Amino acid sequence: MHIIKRFIDLKRLLDDKQRRSPNQIVGFVPTMGALHEGHISLIKESCTDCDMSICSIFVNPTQFGESNDLEKYPKPIEKDIELLIDIGCDVLFLPTVEEVYPPSYTQQNFDLIGLDIVFEGKSRVGHFQGVCNVIYRFFDQIKPHRAYFGQKDFQQTVVVKKLVNITSLNTKICVVPIKREPNGLAMSSRNVRLSDNGRKKAAFINESLRLIKNNFREIGLSKSIDLAKKHILKYDNAKLDYLVVAETDTLKGVETYENKKLVALTAVNYEGVRLLDNIILT
Ligand code: AMP
């Protein structure tokens, strides 16, 4: 596996590969490291679909509101490298903050028609503009044919599709299903910050979403959302940020479900750790 730290070296490698065997499909998996089976499933999908797969590890400072969360972000780079070699990833792109954002760089403000200011964007102001800046920079430099994102960060997939749509980027966004721990908790690099007991109990987050999925046709959306909220609030140390049902492509909140493609999305703060989950309803 090549480990590359500068865009110029990555572009040189890609050009070289294209010269030797033209029309190679390049797949890209952006991550912030502390890799787990969720990330691995994205990279495996890229390796299956593409001739060459690049995984980036970059803890993007512009998408973190509280610097505290940024500092606490786990960074087990040696273990990540081993995992990437084991699954046959071709390139690890490991840039520094200065490489991604040189002094001449000015943060862009993308018009995401409001997709960036609801739900996660409301609690983490500026988060999705930060995500879009780093993704734009990576896609613009690397020009991957396909990029892989997890359904786990559902709103991010909608935002990134919009970004591609409103810019001249030519990358196909592929969404990969959520990998879960055996108890149903969505895998996340942040799960290591939960206590052992908390990690077991945190199954209640996915249970609450399944309560909506299993009941909304019979009792309606609003009552099933109430059931789910009550389930979450039974747990000490759980603070509900949001639990909403929205249209999958516009993220507009809905009251009724007829003929719409819907997703239930939640963010819960549990033992001081922000945990996200979602479930497709229709
Ligand atoms: P992160 O390192 O948290 O920025 O995540 C990098 C990518 O992995 C994002 O596209 C995430 O949505 C995806 N991802 C994170 N956790 C999971 C999971 N449990 N299942 C599937 N994809 C995931």
Q: What is the pLDDT of residues 125-184, one digit of tens each?
A: 999 999 999 999 999 999 999 999 999 999 999 999 999 999 999 999 999 999 999 999
Burial (CB < 10 A; 0-12, 13-18, 19+), residue 172, is: middle
Other beta carbons within 10 Å of 149: 21
pTM over 0.75? The answer is: yes
Identify any residues that bridge with 276 across adjacent strands, giving them in sequence order: 267
Nearest CA to ligand 1 atom 13: 150
Burial (CB < 10 A; 0-12, 13-18, 19+), residue 16, is: exposed
Out of 39, 127, 145, 231, the active site residue is: 39
Cβ atoms of 79 and 51 within 8 Å: the answer is no
Domains and CATH numbers, the chain: 2-176 (3.40.50.620), 189-277 (3.30.1300.10)
| Three-class DSSP category at 114 | coil
Q: Among 31, 32, 132, 205, which is best to mutate for testing ligand 1, by the most ligand atoms less than 8 A from CB?
A: 31
Dump pLDDT digits (tens) for 20-61: 999 999 999 999 999 999 999 999 999 999 999 999 999 999
Q: Is the CB of 149 under 6 A from ligand 1?
A: yes
CA 101 from centre of chain: 21
| pLDDT score for 67 | 64
pLDDT at 281 exceeding the cut of 70: yes
Determine whether 39 is an active site residue.
yes
Dump pLDDT digits (tens) for 108-138: 999 999 999 999 999 999 999 999 999 999 9
Six-digit token string for 77: 């780079």
List of E strands, the chain: 2-4, 26-31, 52-57, 91-93, 146-150, 172-176, 238-247, 262-270, 273-280
